[in-house]
Chain A
């Protein structure tokens, strides 16, 4: 195990006028994401929870929904599992960032790509794309399985209009949560803190906003990121207070964008 030969360094420092571009950084971020097991576990969990729970709840409630005394719409059930898929999406987004800090690998990353904006952009794009694809497939599988039971009771939903929007919206919502988590991860640089904060914001504070009285509470509910972003993934929301699907998603996108901008500023300013 001795170094027998090291090739000679080029005498002039090899500086191609156009170095490796953003594509190279994207490729390296994809390699990082795809070469750790936690990515595949969280993606599998996203699919199993998202599609599985939708199928399960449709199977359990199809008969009741088809009956005369149902006070809920089948449209509220057909993407129900996505509420849980968002948990694993949040974890995936957090881990993609925070494990770099917990392992010290961020120093390797930023030494390899000194442009920190590029690292943030490439990681964001890779996590968002992967989650959009997996999220959409999850929503589609949940629809296919769930609708089988609804169809049997004669209350099936065609894959068009709001239903189609909700399937694609499921992918968008899950991808958005992942991106939100990436931003929080760069801000907090700690795995447990990031996951706790994102899930508390999405699931707990989103519901606790109901406790604030009056119109203030109403608007808090509407504007909390998890609430605003989720409407796009539902045909008929359980919560009638939510913003319209695309309006809500725009609010969620704005909130995520603001966090990313803050993460960008701090990532550039802080020592690695």
Chain B
């Protein structure tokens, strides 16, 4: 089957490092001003006030988080915001040693999906874990949000610094 493979011309890392290859570079000025939207707008406002909220679906009865204007399962309008606790359970996690550009981090980040108390089972959000030995993190671990002080909050998911173990 070799005859069906075009043996294209390949370059080594060194060819690039020594600039044996002609480059054109372009730095995009990618600036966007996003509207947070109806549901997430309220979510962010509540975060600024130090609260987590979900929404209720009148059709399936679930409490969903992150909040959404409509339940994607039932495709009906959700009918109201519901206060949630700022505690939850780790559904899954990773211990990440690299940045997006593969530069190694001095201290690993621990991203996790956390099911929030007060929402329906399995309703997780993405956040980080902190104040914990990475080796001690387990699926099923109980955690609580660590909030920024009120004057530092800006209406963003990062108003919660991270979640820490409950005990």
A binds B: no
Q: Which residues of B contact A (CB under 8 A)?
A: none
